[in-house]
Amino acid sequence: MAEVYLARTNQKLTFARLHLEALANAQASSGWSKHALIESYQESILFHLMSAYVSLLREIAERYRVNAQSIKEIHTLQQAFDAAGFESSELSELVALQENPASWLHKLHNAYEACWIATDKAKVASAETSLSEIQVMQVNPDHSEDSGVYQEYASWLTEFRTLIERQRAGMQEW
């Protein structure tokens, strides 16, 4: 198994879990910096989940003996596999999840990208957006959706862990 990136992926998931716990504590607090802490933890969770995702891509690359250091997104892993003539059920599953607008992975990517966008206007949630995507885009959100964002992040972390466990079990079989 890909030991270097396996450990890094696990570390990033642990950091996301710790920040999720800190987010719950911030939401329960009544301190003057409550909202700043909430926004900070929301974005840090996204950062750690995306870092875990890139690390998982590198873990898969390492497992298949592809240059893991060059992998920064799913498309670079796909190109490396195409060049080497490899096919991977792990990669196929990730591509399908990322391309499905209703999937947790697609929503995670959109929420992370929203960290780089700022707006003063509230956006209405739809099936293709997530509460966290809307929350991080707003410069001064009203924090009425904080518990929903927490639940969304907890769900994404659970889905991510489940995916990783299943994929690692499959990679160990051969």
C-alpha 93/C-alpha 157 separation (Å) is: 17
- pLDDT of the residue at 117: 79
For residue 73, pLDDT beyond 60: yes
Contacts of 124 (CB under 8 A, 6+ apart): none
- For residue 76 the two structure tokens come to 């670079």
Residue 128 domain-assigned (yes or no): no
Burial class of residue 10, CB neighbours in 10 A (0-12, 13-18, 19+) = middle
Residue 125 domain-assigned (yes or no): no
pLDDT tens for 37-68 read 998 999 999 999 999 999 999 999 999 999 99
For residue 164, pLDDT beyond 60: yes
C-alpha 131/C-alpha 58 separation (Å) is: 29
3-state secondary structure of 119: strand
Residue 17's identity, in one-letter code, is R
pLDDT band (50, 70, 90) for residue 131: low
Report percent pLDDT > 90 for the chain: 67
Residue 3's identity, in one-letter code, is E
Domain that holds residue 98: 4-120+139-173
Instruction: Tell me how many domains the chain contains.
Output: 1
For residue 138, pLDDT beyond 90: no
* CB distance 174 to 86 below 8 Å: no
For residue 1, pLDDT beyond 70: no
Contacts of 133 (CB under 8 A, 6+ apart): 107, 110, 111, 114, 123
Q: Which long-range contacts (CB under 8 A, 24 or more apart) does 66-71 make?
A: 68/2, 68/5
pTM, entire model: 0.85
